[in-house]
Structure 1
Amino acid sequence: MITAVVRYKLPPQIDYAACREHFHKIAPDFREVTGLISKHFIWSENGWAGGVYQWERIEDAKAFYTGPWLEGIIQRYGMKPQIDFYEVFAVTDNTRGKIELFKETVASKWL
């Protein structure tokens, strides 16, 4: 499993309410993204926003963060996003009462 943390600085015209409204509007669009397990839409009072994505494979993540998605981010926020990739070793999921331990993947070669 791969976690990607994507961040960008919000321009002054996009405040808390506008960011929240936009995220609520686009959240359903991520239901059909290839390899995406989940996305957390994040905002901080310091003016940064973005997403924490869980991916099945690094290839799916890297393919998604190019083309139309990247162009849309640059157009809306006026900057390329900061993207950090992490290989997930384990997950404690208290809502399901489950702990998952992951085997080493090919991702260790690219991190």
Structure 2
Amino acid sequence: MITAVVRYKLPSQIDHATCREHFHKIAPNFREVTGLISKHFVWSQSGWAGGVYQWEGIEDAKAFYTGPWLDGIIQRYGMKPQIDLYEVFAVTDNTSGKVELFKETVASK
């Protein structure tokens, strides 16, 4: 499993309410993204926003962060996003009461 943290600085014309409205509008569009497990749409008082994504594999993540998605981010926010990819070793999920441990995938390749 891969976690991606994607951040971009919001232009001054995109305030908290505008960002929230946009995220609410586009959230359903992520239902059909290949390999995407979940996405958290995030905003910070520091003026940064973005997403925290959970991916089945690194190939799906890398494929998504190119082409139309990247072009849309640059057009809307005026910058390339900062994208950090992390291999997930374990997940503690307190809502389900489960702990998942994952085999090595990225570092061994």
Do the two structures share a fold, i.e. TM-score over 0.5?
yes
Partner SS state of residue 108, structure 1? coil
1:38 counterpart residue number: 38
Residues 62-81 of structure 1 mapped to structure 2, 5 A cutoff: 62-81=62-81
What is the identity percentage for the equivalent residue pairs of Structure 1 and Structure 2?
85
Partner SS state of residue 79, structure 2? coil
* Cα distance, 1:56 vs structure 2: 0.3
Instruction: Kindly report the root-mean-square deviation, in angstroms, between the aligned alpha carbons of the 2 structures.
Output: 0.9
Residues 56-67 of structure 1 mapped to structure 2, 5 A cutoff: 56-67=56-67
1:102 counterpart residue number: 102
Unaligned runs of 5+ residues in structure 1 are: none
Unaligned runs of 5+ residues in structure 2 are: none
Partner SS state of residue 86, structure 1? strand
Corresponding residue pairs, total: 109
* Cα distance, 1:109 vs structure 2: 5.0
Deviation digits for residues 21-75 of structure 1, max 9, x if unmatched?
A: 0000000000000000000000000000000000001000000000000000000
Distance 1:96 1:103 in 2: 21
Partner SS state of residue 46, structure 2? coil
Distance 2:34 2:58 in 1: 11
Deviating beyond 3 angstroms after TM superposition, the runs of 4 or more aligned structure 1 residues are none
